[in-house]
Amino acid sequence: MGTKTSTKLSIDLLPDLHEELKEIAQASGKSVKTYVAEALESCIRRDTEEEDRYWGKMSEDARKKGFIGVEKSRELVALIKNAQS
């Protein structure tokens, strides 16, 4: 595996939110950079899991209604999901 490199991300925050972020990061014993990176990673992971559950349910519902078999419904959902990205 290659070495992972990071990229910079710049966002504008309202002063009150920035102060709150600094306080929360400090209370967590983390830098703002580390706190934000971990929070974003957690949020993305959660959203991905929710999306996977949604598509899995859609696949199961299609199978239950007799539209297609489980494997075919999973393939169809994967094709739809990949076409959206």
At residue 62, the pLDDT reads 76
What residues make up the domain containing 65? 22-84
CA distance 20 to 18: 5
Question: Total structural domains in the chain?
Answer: 1
Asked whether residue 3 is domain-assigned, the answer is no
Q: What is the pLDDT of residue 85?
A: 67
Is residue 37 situated within a structural domain? yes
What would the pLDDT profile of 31-76 be if each residue is shown by its tens digit? 999 999 999 999 999 988 888 888 888 777 877 777 766 677 677 7
Q: pTM for the complete prediction?
A: 0.58
Q: Is the residue at 39 inside a domain?
A: yes
